[in-house]
Chain A
């Protein structure tokens, strides 16, 4: 009896062990190694020495903050766009999928059966200057001959959004799927109706601000994109958002929103493939810088320092994000 109790007490720790070992071996140790490398001085030919050169951090930040900022903006916009696309998708599958739920879910992850690289390259064909999308628009004169999507920030953000959309959709789906739908009926019984006029105002403001930011970053006239965003937001706010959604569905989906946005944002900020393939010299991200410093310039210390700075920046962002969404609600809603 005593023995059984004893086993039961250590079982959780034993179960943790493989994961912990994995983490220590493949994350903590390499990260520590990288930390040491960041404070090397020297070069390939003369060799590197551990000089504890802390100064490299302010230096690296001073030199590369524009790329860091750009990565955070691109990653952030891609996350918001993935949410805007992923939430209705997850909602539709969870609430209206019916017998096709599994098929639809499969379709969400189907792109993962192709390599990340090939998926990104295929965008070069879709977005080509006279390709499937732009060709017809140019033919009818809606766009000028010089207009292009490839080799612009818009293509980079769109590429990231596309590549990480499943990471956003799946957690949202899980959160929505296990929601007790009777709660919505209960809310409606208690006179929850359309969410007006708040919905119109909120949609107008959120859509407008997002449109201006997207337009500014992508370089397509913030005013026009802002107006389009505001109108779209107002329409969504008027016709699609109900009080039950605001009071019941959204709070219950928060854990999914939290998980999905982290799973999207973190890899998106560090991504370099999309910028490399779909961007131009003016839209390269911090991942490209780290790669170039490490492999081409063999400047291992700066590359390592930048990796750490990126990690730290994300961690700090994460902390505030968790505070904003409210950890209490997160854990509360997930029970």
Chain B
């Protein structure tokens, strides 16, 4: 999901400030009882998980040596105070595979595509990475271009068994063997309850009630997706007519000045400063960024609209020609052990795609396990929509139409 800034650090990426605010966030989480990296609870899980992992990987003959080069977004894995990654270390010990972890190597889908993937893959050469984490639509693009390796699911029994149902057979990955979800997030209503009252409908994004005090997201799939949901369309099978209708509403609201700005996650600062009281917001932002910045008269909330909200996912994929495909599959299988996923989740706090992680988390930290922003309940899952994959023509045409509506 993400975004568009090549420099100097990405502006619109939802995790953009997270690097600089990690310390503050960690302090906040600690205060709330969430164990940050390296805490006693996390290491307890590590110990508890050894038994199941040994039995789980006994099915095939997985890689037991070699290298794995893993490019991920910043702050997207449990990190100890000394900058090491406990879960990675556990994997290295368990598998004998040496991991090069690129923390923050991916800082934006488009930029990463341009800088690390396009040139080698276009020339039929391997990239510098064996696993990269990219958002749904980028998986769609890479799959369309034939630039992904297929995950050998015989080697990843945990992935097969523990991938949550709503992630199976997605439009860009019908056989569920190209992309292994890493973390998800939801897009819905972010608001300052003290100024807006309780909100539960997408209508407020399109009428004059909060004119000039609300923001849209610069992610086409979030903004147009929510607009489509409001019009009764399902983004999972959006037609051109439905896209046009949804975009027309967005365009109208922007032109009329209802929308103050179309932003990446800089809406967070505007909400903290009080200039913006309502935004199309990513669930993770409200959880990790807004709340610590809250002033006495502010009360930030994130709500899944009654009409529905967007679910987006960052996925692990194996770029074509990776020399360490077996090692990559071993890692994917490792991540899909609920204990490992839960350990990472306790630190990352997005939506976990691994079934069974919630049960582990109940033991680990009941507060996180019961947080709907991290483990959405059934009725939320039923209302969450995923944007469908696009053809090459649609990808360009829709991106172009959306940037025009954004004033570009």
Kindly identify which residue among B145, B212, B275, B399 contacts A297, using a CB–CB cutoff of 8 Å.
Answer: B399
Contacts of B110 in A (CB 8 A): 295-296, 298
**Interface presence of B348 (CB below 8 A):** no
Contacts of B406 in A (CB 8 A): 281, 284, 292
Contact indicator B275/A128 (Cβ below 8 Å): yes
**Interface presence of B270 (CB below 8 A):** yes
Contact indicator A299/B396 (Cβ below 8 Å): yes
- State which of B5-13, B37-45, B159-167, B325-333 sits at the interface with chain A: B5-13
Most buried by B among A47, A131, A280: A280
Kindly identify which residue among B6, B259, B399 contacts A281, using a CB–CB cutoff of 8 Å.
Answer: B259
Contact indicator B396/A115 (Cβ below 8 Å): no
Kindly identify which residue among A46, A47, A129 contacts B275, using a CB–CB cutoff of 8 Å.
Answer: A129
Kindly identify which residue among A124, A128, A273, A289 contacts B408, using a CB–CB cutoff of 8 Å.
Answer: A289
Contact indicator B6/A121 (Cβ below 8 Å): no
- Per the bound structure, the CA–CA distance linking A291 and B12 in Å amounts to 13
Contacts of B392 in A (CB 8 A): 43-46
Query: Interface size for chain B: under 10, 10 to 19, 20 to 34, or 35 or more residues?
Result: 35 or more
Binary per-residue interface labels of chain B (364-408) against chain A in the complex, 1 for a CB within 8 Å, 0 otherwise? 000000000000000000000000000010001001101100111
Kindly identify which residue among A277, A289, A297 contacts B266, using a CB–CB cutoff of 8 Å.
Answer: A277
Contact indicator A284/B212 (Cβ below 8 Å): no
Most buried by A among B262, B269, B275: B275
- State which of A143-151, A190-198, A246-254 sits at the interface with chain B: A143-151
Contacts of A45 in B (CB 8 A): 144-145, 392
- Per the bound structure, the CA–CA distance linking A150 and B259 in Å amounts to 13
**Interface presence of B260 (CB below 8 A):** yes
Contacts of A288 in B (CB 8 A): 408
Contacts of A129 in B (CB 8 A): 213, 273-275
Closest to A150 in B: B275
Contact indicator B399/A296 (Cβ below 8 Å): yes
Given A125-B269, A125-B273, A295-B110, is A151 in contact with B8 using a C-beta cutoff of 8 Å? no
Contacts of B275 in A (CB 8 A): 124, 128-131, 148, 150-151
Contact indicator B8/A115 (Cβ below 8 Å): yes
Binary per-residue interface labels of chain A (94-122) against chain B in the complex, 1 for a CB within 8 Å, 0 otherwise? 00000000000000000000011110010
Contact indicator B407/A282 (Cβ below 8 Å): yes
Interface residues on chain A, number (Cβ under 8 Å): 41
- Per the bound structure, the CA–CA distance linking A291 and B7 in Å amounts to 10
Contact indicator B4/A292 (Cβ below 8 Å): yes
**Interface presence of A177 (CB below 8 A):** no
- Per the bound structure, the CA–CA distance linking A295 and B6 in Å amounts to 8
Contacts of B25 in A (CB 8 A): none
- Per the bound structure, the CA–CA distance linking A148 and B275 in Å amounts to 9
Given A131-B274, A281-B259, is A295 in contact with B4 using a C-beta cutoff of 8 Å? yes
Given A128-B273, A131-B274, A281-B254, is A297 in contact with B111 using a C-beta cutoff of 8 Å? no
- Per the bound structure, the CA–CA distance linking A46 and B5 in Å amounts to 25
**Interface presence of B240 (CB below 8 A):** no
Closest to A134 in B: B275
Contacts of B272 in A (CB 8 A): 125
Given A151-B261, A277-B11, is A121 in contact with B4 using a C-beta cutoff of 8 Å? no
Closest to B260 in A: A151
- Per the bound structure, the CA–CA distance linking A128 and B271 in Å amounts to 9
**Interface presence of B20 (CB below 8 A):** yes
**Interface presence of B114 (CB below 8 A):** yes
CB distance from A164 to the nearest CB of B (A): 15
- Per the bound structure, the CA–CA distance linking A116 and B11 in Å amounts to 12
Contact indicator A43/B396 (Cβ below 8 Å): yes
Contacts of A146 in B (CB 8 A): 212
Kindly identify which residue among A115, A281, A296 contacts B261, using a CB–CB cutoff of 8 Å.
Answer: A281
Contact indicator B11/A273 (Cβ below 8 Å): yes
- Per the bound structure, the CA–CA distance linking A12 and B213 in Å amounts to 60
Contacts of B269 in A (CB 8 A): 121, 124-125
Binary per-residue interface labels of chain A (45-61) against chain B in the complex, 1 for a CB within 8 Å, 0 otherwise? 11100000000000000
- Per the bound structure, the CA–CA distance linking A44 and B141 in Å amounts to 10
Contacts of B402 in A (CB 8 A): 296
Contact indicator A124/B270 (Cβ below 8 Å): yes
29 contacts between A and B (CB under 8 A): A43-B396, A44-B141, A46-B392, A115-B8, A117-B11, A121-B266, A124-B266, A124-B269, A124-B270, A124-B273, A125-B269, A125-B273, A129-B274, A129-B275, A146-B212, A150-B270, A150-B275, A151-B261, A151-B275, A280-B261, A281-B262, A281-B406, A281-B407, A282-B407, A291-B4, A292-B408, A295-B108, A296-B402, A298-B396
> B-contacting residues of A (Cβ < 8 Å)?
43-47, 67, 115-118, 121, 124-125, 128-131, 146, 148, 150-151, 273, 276-277, 279-284, 288-289, 291-299
> A-contacting residues of B (Cβ < 8 Å)?
4-6, 8-9, 11-12, 20, 108, 110-111, 114, 122, 141, 144-145, 212-213, 220, 254, 259-262, 266, 269-270, 272-275, 392, 396, 399-400, 402-403, 406-408
